[in-house]
Amino acid sequence: MPLSLQAATEFLRTLVRGIDRKADPTVTAQQEAQNGVVLAVELRKCKTSLNISVAEIEGAMEDAIQRAQLRTRIKAAIDRSTFKSLPFASTKMVRGAIVDGGFFRSNSGFQRGGRR
């Protein structure tokens, strides 16, 4: 019995909602030659889409290992779309103010330490 679009939608919706409750999944059928569905997920103004074959969905419905693999694939796509890199710290040296006579010279002249 072929998989209906409604059954695939409900199954994928439960997988996506298990990853993040605020995610909004949309499932559309691909062309006949492709034999699968397109899962589009929107989360916090970030969008991503995946092509999932019917065989993957049917296998995930029957087997827990394949379900976990499909869930991991969906979660990775969501994580890639929501990733924002942080600005890195500058390694440029900060120098002190330049004074007459150099950076670290005192105005009292050259003195050696110790007793005389």
pLDDT tens digits for range 82-95: 877 777 777 777 66
| Each residue's pLDDT tens digit, 23-38 | 878 888 876 656 888 8
Number of domain units in the chain = 1
CB 52 within 8 A of CB 60: no
Euclidean distance between CA atoms 95 and 116, whole angstroms = 35
Residues in the chain: 116
Confidence of residue 65 (pLDDT cuts 50, 70, 90): very high
In this model, does residue 56 exceed pLDDT 80?
Answer: yes
Residue 97 makes CB contacts below 8 A (sequence gap 6+) with: none
Confirm whether 115 is domain-assigned. Answer: no
Report the sign of the C-alpha dihedral through residues 95, 99, 105, 108, in that order: negative
Please give the pLDDT value at position 36: 81
Q: Which structural domain, as residue segments, surrounds residue 25?
A: 5-82
Report the mean per-residue pLDDT for the chain: 79
Confirm whether 87 is domain-assigned. Answer: no
Asked which of 69-73, 74-78, 107-111 is least confident by mean pLDDT, the reply is: 107-111
How far is the CA of 66 from the CAs of 5, 19, 32, 71, 110, in angstroms? 19, 16, 24, 8, 77
Confirm whether 27 is domain-assigned. Answer: yes
- The β-bridge relationship of strands 24-29 and 36-43 is antiparallel
Average pLDDT over residues 104-112: 58
